[in-house]
């Protein structure tokens, strides 16, 4: 706390995109909130030296260099551990922030002590439409994620007050540092994909709120990389893990039948590569299933298949 105002740690996760990182850092440094520290977390890649060079052009920015690619979860957790701020804002190298983004998010959390996570409205860089303004997740017999405002013009949400959601993307997420540490950050074993959904599940289980602040805005550059086999593996394994830990027990058997057995049969029909990825991902999830189901005993019995209050 400085002059009665909280210090905000802005953590920018970077991986192989030095061409975008410069703009992300510039918009973080240019925030109108007077007390910030900016930390760039580099997940090791063949572009790490270029990322270091970009970061070095901003003397006030700290660079945290991981010795290997720890994924989204490990990279963000490393940044959280290094942060000194009263509040932590998580973002990525393909995100540009409006000047008042941090101010709007801090203001919201200060006015709403029951809110644990606050996120900005994310716009598409290419056409200015809404990419994500939060959403709602349902861990029912089939997995459902409904993104609010996707494809709409941002004017459609002008003058909208902060509102509750059950999902925020991890690339625009603010929390009080003490609460984020109490939550344990992201699950390292997720590596990437659905890690933000899982964190939101834990927040809601504690009876805390998740909100979107439309006055806080960021711009997202469209990803150019095609999905890798590792990403596909994470998608399948992490979805199974999410259900074993957080879904209502009554839906887990049908989920396993639908996504596990039937999904495996479909993957086999799609070719050797898809079959190997699907079967290995489910094999990994099932090996950990007894431990994951036991983990539920340490949590409340309430799932998240609901719209938050």
pLDDT digits 0-9 by tens, 33-53: 999 999 999 999 999 999 999
User: Residue 216's pLDDT is what?
Assistant: 97
The pTM for the full model equals 0.92
What's the pLDDT at 195? 97
Tokens of 165: 């959601």
How many other CB atoms are there within 10 angstroms of residue 67's CB atom? 8
Q: Is 136 helix (H, G, I), strand (E, B) or coil?
A: strand
pLDDT digits (tens, 9 = 90+) for 189-226: 999 999 999 999 999 999 999 999 999 999 999 876 66
Phi (first) and psi of residue 118, to 5 degrees: -130, 135
Q: Which domains does the chain have, with CATH numbers?
A: 8-220 (3.90.550.10), 229-298 (no CATH)
| pLDDT value of residue 225 | 62
pLDDT-flagged residues of the chain (< 70): 1-2, 224-227, 299-309
Question: What's residue 303's pLDDT?
Answer: 36
3-class secondary structure, 200: helix
Q: Pull the structure tokens for residue 307.
A: 């719209």
Smallest CA-to-CA distance from 90 within 183, 32, 28 is with 28
**Helix, strand or coil, per DSSP, at residue 115:** strand
Q: Give the pLDDT score at 44.
A: 96
């Amino acid at each position: 706390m400085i002059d009665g105002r909280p210090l905000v740690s802005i953590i920018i996760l970077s991986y192989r995109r030095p061409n975008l990182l410069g703009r992300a850092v510039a918009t973080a440094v240019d925030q109108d909130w007077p007390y910030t520290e900016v930390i760039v977390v580099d997940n090791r890649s063949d572009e790490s030296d270029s990322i270091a060079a970009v970061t070095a052009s901003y003397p006030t920015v700290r660079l945290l260099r991981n010795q290997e690619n720890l994924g989204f979860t490990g990279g963000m957790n490393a940044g959280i551990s290094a942060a000194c701020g009263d509040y932590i804002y998580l973002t990525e190298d393909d995100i540009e922030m409006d000047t008042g983004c941090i101010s709007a998010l801090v203001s919201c959390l200060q006015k709403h002590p029951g809110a644990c996570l606050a996120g900005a409205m994310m716009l598409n860089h290419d056409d200015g439409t809404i990419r994500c303004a939060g959403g709602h997740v349902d861990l029912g017999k089939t997995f459902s994620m409904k993104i609010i405002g996707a494809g709409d013009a941002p004017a459609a949400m002008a003058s909208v007050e902060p509102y509750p959601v059950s999902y925020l993307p991890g690339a625009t997420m603010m929390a009080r540092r003490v609460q984020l540490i109490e939550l344990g950050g992201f699950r390292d074993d997720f590596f990437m994909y659905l890690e933000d959904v899982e964190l939101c599940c834990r927040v809601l289980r504690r009876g805390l709120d998740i909100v979107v602040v439309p006055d806080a805005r960021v711009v997202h550059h469209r990803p150019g990389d095609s999905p890798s086999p590792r990403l596909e593996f994470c998608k399948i394994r992490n979805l199974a893990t999410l259900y074993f830990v957080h879904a209502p027990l009554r839906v887990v058997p049908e989920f396993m039948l639908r996504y596990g057995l039937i999904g495996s049969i479909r993957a086999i029909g799609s070719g050797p590569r898809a079959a190997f990825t699907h079967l290995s991902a489910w094999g990994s999830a099932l090996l950990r299933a007894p431990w994951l189901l036991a983990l539920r005993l340490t949590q409340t019995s309430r799932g998240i298949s609901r719209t938050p209050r």
